[in-house]
Structure 1
Amino acid sequence: MAITSANQLELLQTAEAVAREKMIDPDLVIQAMEDSLARAAKSRYGSEMDIRVKIDRKTGRASFTRVRTVVEDEAVENYQAQLTVAQAKQYKTNPQLGDEIVDEVPPVDLGRIAAQSAKQVILQKVREAERDRQFDEFKDRKGTIINGVVKREEYGNIIVDIGRGEAILRRNEKIGRESYRPNDRIRAYVKDVRRETRGPQVFLSRTDPQFMAELFKMEVPEIYDGIIEIKAVARDPGSRAKIAVISNDNSIDPVGACVGMRGSRVQAVVGELQGEKIDIIPWNADAATFLVNALQPAEVAKVVIDEEAGKIEVVVPDEQLSLAIGRRGQNVRLASQLTGLDIDILTEAEESSRRQAEFAERTKLFVDALDLDEFFAQLLVAEGFTNLEEVAYVDLDELLSIEGVDDGTAEELQARARDYIEAQNAKAIAAAKELGVEDSLFNFEGLTPQMIEALAKDDVKTLEDFATCADWELAGGWTTVNGARVKDEGILEKFGMSLEDAQKLIMTARIQLGWVDISELEAEDATETDEDETEE
């Protein structure tokens, strides 16, 4: 195939045809042709030559040029693509380093192999351009719902035709056991769009909580307009879901608007989600009130929130326990996802029994440690004292407010409490030293002798050992194993150590050891603060 044929315009016609078919810029196709012709010319004239091809966008004429760069004498490595200043004077007056000497070379006739190679280059460039176009088109559709047609199934994954490209619905992103056949219409949530070597990958989902949120946005105009806001979503795909909504207009009921006339709006969503039961819950800024709503239809008697631990205890009547927990724990699990809190559910009988056990335990502590009779120890517990530190270091007036306690009694109580604490501290220090704890840990502020003893029993005996600990190792936490939450006991968890306190202590230890530069930390904090203010 000779480039200098009478049909030079065929190049432009071919480029335009390919561009229309693939919906890409015709100029990209022409550039691909130029690259392919240049490669073919190199195979003819020599791979070391710098051959460039330029196709005229109007006439289709392809011009072939050889380019050589002017370099210093000792820098010449490739005589086919470089030349010295002296050599360049034959082609140009007063040549400078870096100048390019351009010579036109005869166009090449493409043989069968060269033509095939040129075709492969063009196809590759066109595929890359098509991938870029697809990625640019779908990257902004992440987080939206898309309609498509099922093309085929591969190993349980569904390949979906979404117009100008393909998307994949993985088998774990399908609801329950739903199945599809070729040419079935499908609606799904665009979970992610990634650029990969084999082309842009569009990942769909029908189990993502946001799929349900977007469906409600389509069915409820008030959500689309921003009058009603979806605050949280939790799903057990194909079975049950909870969605929390709030209205920015006091005259509009958010739950009623989402349900619709005779349930028309929510039923449209339920139908799309294969009959998934949906609880629509009014959102509330108060965590306790929100949780009571989230546990519907169960009735809640009392809510106790532990903000530091991020846990919440819910007390329900005995007959409401199974309803609150739900089938296989579904109701409480969804409520936990919705509120972002760990929820423990107790019956009124269990809570009463636990309260009595705690009362008896604290009473025994005061009887044994302070040498009190049972009645007086119970009186202290009833007044809200939970440990010896509170008795020892509380303001004297608080003890005097207890009926029957005078100055002498209050002072004696505090003296006994302090003596007991000091004795326990001395005992803990002795035990820790016997276990080999070094002075660096004893001198570290923030740890009590009992904490140091507990650390020593777990083989943490120096400040360096302490600084290498993770926060969850000290404060405890939860790990998900095979879908089940497993409790990790913290070394200092029994002393009321929170994750935040553990993080601060560990960081302080690292700073003292010189592992962390405090000035760098302050600079990072300042940068994060500036970024947050900018975002606001």
Structure 2
Amino acid sequence: MAAAVSANRLELLQIADAAAREKMIDREIVLEAMEEAIQKAARTRYGAENEIRAQIDRKSGEIRLFRVMEVVEEVETPATQISLADARHEKEDAAIGDFLADSLPPIDYSRIGAQTAKQVIVQKVRDAERDRQYAEYKDRIGEVVTGVIKRVEYGNAIVDLGRAEAIMRRDQVIPREHLRQNERIRGIIYDVRRETRGPQIFMSRTKPEFMSALFAQEVPEIYDNIIEIKAVARDPGSRAKIAVLSNDSSIDPVGACVGMRGSRVQAVVNELQGEKIDIIPWQDDQASFIVNALAPAEVAKVVMDEDSNRIEVVVPDDQLSLAIGRRGQNVRLASQLTGWTIDIMTEQEESERRQEEFTQQTQFFVDALDVDETLAQLLVAEGFSDLEEVAYVEPDELAAIEGFDEELIGELQKRALDALEAQSAVAEEKRRALGVLDELADLDGLTPLMLVALGEAEVKSLEDFAGFTTEELVSDRDAPLRNAGLDPLEAQNLIMKARRLAGWITDEDLEQASVKGLHADGGDEDDGGLADETPEQA
């Protein structure tokens, strides 16, 4: 820098041009850094209390120094301020708030001053370079890039991308993949962060998005959006499943991804160190999609629970190990791919479980209705599962069961009603013991069993209940009424009634919510989000 400072004018501009090209930043930024460095050195010479400005002519390279003073009514800092009267001696039309600049003679830079100036320029240029790198790469998240490994530290690789460096952490490297210095490597940029030591660019070879991007490079139909990659699940370096959908009925999505003699998929497999890839056709029918996702295992039957997003899959006894896969790999990847929790059981296990459920349900009716086992088994076999169904079903449906006459039906329904009343009495007592207030119990639509569930979840007043959203009440994993049989619309109406009674909303708001309920299937009406907002949120 000492040479740079003493250089002639044209050399100064040449140095700025060279630094700008080398660091790939704007020439103006380098010149501003030089001006700042000269100012700092000049303050050392003329006194740090002075406001010194340096100016480099952009065409000639001439350096000019100025001492700047502000025109004020009353001078508090003589080094940087000048009174209005004194200012008008130098400039007749000076006004308060103006700045006066006095030229200063050029200075000879000492070794310390030159070193200080150099540090300022280096720091300024480094900051500009970091800003340029961040601006360039922040919009490249999700892009596959190729770089050269500069070094490997504790399993983390530093990759030279040409215009910046990226880090590939150990958990983003494919297992059993050996990284060597100066080796070319591909990965996907999954995060770019602005940090004090400069922008941090993070690369990965284990993200599902990396596999998607590789297929997009190998399969033109994906690049052209004829084929869509709907979901990817990976066990990096071992196995993966990818679901694809064709927007053109004449093109087989699986065949297009496999390629002639497997050339396309093999190129991806080679890049991923031999990772085995199952390509699965996407289907909107979730049951069929899950069956496909469990390939190569054969599936005999599925039972879906959409409320909890779980599915029970029944497979032949000899297919169990294939469906689960080594260390549960196959079912785990299928679950990640579909977004469903998959429970796998054999046909024998399902048969045993169904028999156990049948026995338990039979015993329930035996105890609750005080009937013999045969009669209880007939009710279970006909699909009756709780006392409400027996008590309130049309007598004609019970009459369809062989051996059920009018007298027996009347007695059964009477006993079912008595049992329900007894249950309600017990639940009412428990509700009071839990401290659930009468104001909440009087809310039309909440049964005694629901009130007990709410009390156990510490929901005891109308205000407590009114603060719920629909999801929190019936949909979330720990929702207090998750198993109460309420659908979301019923839950929403209950919450709105509670808010009206609590004084949070008006009858007009409640009417608007009811209108929305009438149009729920169409999705065109809007209640303004009242059912999902507390008063504070609203």
TM above 0.5 = yes
- 2:89 aligned counterpart, secondary structure: coil
Q: After superposition, give the CA deviation of every residue in 1:348-373 in whole Å (9 maximum; x if it has no partner).
A: 11111212222222222223222334
CA distance in 1, matches of 2:490, 2:49: 66
Conservation of the 8 A alpha-carbon contact between 2:254 and 2:279? yes
Partner residue of 1:176? 175
The answer as to 2:70 corresponding to 1:69 is: yes
Q: What is the 5 A alignment of 1:53-64?
A: 53-64=54-65
CA deviation after TM superposition for structure 1 residue 432, in Å: 3.5
Query: Which SS does the other structure have where 1:183 is aligned?
Result: coil
Give aligned-pair identity as a percent. Answer: 61
In 1, the alpha carbon distance for the partners of 2:503 and 2:152 equals 57
Q: How does 1:478-493 map to 2 (within 5 A)?
A: none
Residues of 2 paired with 1:87 and 1:26: CA distance? Answer: 39
Q: Which residue of 1 aligns with 2:12?
A: 11
* Bigger shift: residues 399-408 or 120-129: 399-408
Q: Is the 8 A contact 2:4 2:15 kept in 1?
A: no
Superposed displacement of residue 198, structure 1: 1.0
Distance 1:105 1:29 in 2: 23
Shift of 1:68: 2.2
Q: Residue 302 of structure 1 aligns with which residue? A: 301
Identify which range, 97-106 or 28-37, moves more after superposition: 97-106
Looking at structure 1, the residues matched to 115 and 37 of structure 2 have their Cα atoms a distance apart, in angstroms, of 10
Residue pair 2:390, 2:413 contacting (<8 A) in 1 also: yes
* Aligned twin of 1:24: 25
Counterpart CA distance in 1 for 2:5 and 2:166 is 44
CA pair 524-170 structure 1, distance change in 2 beyond 3 A = farther
The residue aligned with 1:343 is: 342
Contact 2:156/2:168, CA 8 A, preserved across alignment: yes
Q: Say yes or no: does 1:129 pair with 2:128.
A: yes
Q: Is the 8 A contact 2:312 2:343 kept in 1?
A: yes
Counterpart of 1:239 in structure 2 is 238
Paired residue for 1:430?
Answer: 429
Superposed displacement of residue 169, structure 1: 0.7
8 Å contact 1:41–1:51 — kept in the other structure?
yes
What's the offset of the Cα at 1:438? Answer: 4.1
- 1:44 counterpart = 2:48: no
| 1:468-479 matches, cutoff 5 A | none
Shift of 1:455: 5.4
Matched, 1:271 2:270: yes
Point out the more displaced range, 20-29 or 427-436: 427-436
- Superposed CA deviations along residues 375-414 of structure 1, whole A, max 9, x for unmatched, are 3333332332221122334455544555565666555544
- Find the aligned partners of 2:278 and 2:159 in 1 and give their Cα distance: 31
- Give the TM-score taking structure 2 as reference length: 0.85
- Residue 510 of structure 1 deviates from its aligned partner by 8.7
Task: Give the superposition deviation at 1:38.
Answer: 1.2
Q: Does structure 1 residue 318 correspond to structure 2 residue 331?
A: no
After TM superposition, the structure 1 = structure 2 runs for residues 108-119 of structure 1, keeping only pairs within 5 Å, are 108-119=107-118
Please give the residue correspondences for 1:65-464 in structure 2 after superposition, counting only pairs within 5 Å.
65-73=66-74, 76-394=75-393, 398-399=397-398, 402=401, 410=409, 412-439=411-438, 441-443=440-442, 447-454=446-453, 456=455
| Partner residue, 1:531 | none
**Secondary structure at 1:89's aligned position in 2?**
helix
Q: Report the CA distance between 1:507 and its aligned residue.
A: 9.8
Report the count of equivalent residues. 514
CA distance in 2, matches of 1:274, 1:3: 52
Classify 1:383/1:226 alpha carbon distance in 2 versus 1 (closer, same or farther; 3 Å): same
275-284 or 365-374, larger mean C-alpha shift:
365-374
SS at match of 2:268: helix
Q: Secondary structure at the match of 2:96?
A: coil
Secondary structure (helix, strand or coil) at the match of 1:141 reads: coil
The structure-2 alpha-carbon separation of the partners of 1:274 and 1:513, relative to structure 1 and needing over 3 Å to count, comes to farther
Report the Cα offset of residue 170 of structure 1: 0.4
* Higher mean C-alpha deviation, range 176-185 or range 226-235: 176-185
CA drift of 1:97 comes to: 3.3
Contact 1:222 1:257 in 2 (8 A): yes
Which one is further off, 295-304 or 40-49?
40-49
How far did 1:99 drift?
Answer: 2.1
Distance 1:198 1:511 in 2: 55
| Letter paired with 1:297 | P
Q: Is the 8 A contact 1:48 1:78 kept in 2?
A: no
Contact 1:131 / 1:200 at 8 angstroms: preserved in 2?
yes
Distance 1:309 1:100 in 2: 71
* CA apart distance, 1:343: 0.5
Say if 1:309 and 1:498, in contact at 8 Å, map to a contact too. no
Q: Call closer, same or farther: CA 1:149–1:503 in 2, change over 3 Å.
A: farther
Which piece of structure 1 moves more, 109-118 or 495-504? 495-504
Unaligned runs of 5+ in 2: 514-525, 533-538
**Contact 2:187–2:210 (CA under 8 A) maintained in structure 1:** yes
Q: Is the 8 A contact 2:5 2:109 kept in 1?
A: no
Q: Which one-letter code corresponds to 1:203 in the other structure?
A: F
Deviation readout 1:45-90 (Å, 9 max, x if unpaired): 22232221111111001111222223343xx542322334333322
Name the CA distance, whole Å, in 2 between partners of 1:515 and 1:260: 62
Q: Is the 8 A contact 1:3 1:109 kept in 2?
A: no
Q: Secondary structure at the match of 1:109?
A: coil
Q: CA offset at residue 494 of structure 1? A: 5.8
State whether residues 2 and 110 of structure 1, in contact with CA within 8 Å, keep that contact through their aligned partners in structure 2: no
In 2, the alpha carbon distance for the partners of 1:152 and 1:409 equals: 85
In the superposition, relative to structure 1, how do residues 368 and 2 fare at CA in structure 2: closer, same or farther (>3 Å)? Answer: closer
- Give distance in 2, aligned partners of 1:6 and 1:285: 72
User: Which consecutive residues of structure 1, in runs of 5 or more, have no partner in the other structure?
Assistant: 479-488, 529-536
Q: What's the TM-score, normalizing by structure 1?
A: 0.85
The farther-off stretch of 378-387 and 246-255 is: 378-387
What per-residue deviation string (whole Å, max 9, x for no partner) do you get for residues 494-525 of structure 1? 65689999999899979977899999x99974
Q: Is the CA contact 1:301–1:315 (under 8 Å) kept in the aligned structure 2?
A: yes
Residues of 1 paired with 2:111 and 2:500: CA distance?
71
8 Å contact from structure 1 (residues 290, 339) kept in 2: yes
- CA distance in 1: counterparts of 2:308 and 2:330, whole angstroms: 22
**Aligned-residue offset at 1:244:** 0.5
**Distance (whole Å) between structure 1 residues aligned to residue 171 and residue 499 of structure 2:** 43
Query: C-alpha distance in 1, partners of 2:107/2:290?
Result: 78
1:211 deviation in Å? 0.8
Q: Which moved more, 1:108-117 or 1:162-171?
A: 108-117
CA distance in 2, matches of 1:254, 1:113: 69
Q: Distance in 2 between matches of 1:90 and 1:501?
A: 84
Give the aligned residue type for 1:199. Answer: G
Cα pair 1:270 1:278 within 8 Å, conserved: yes
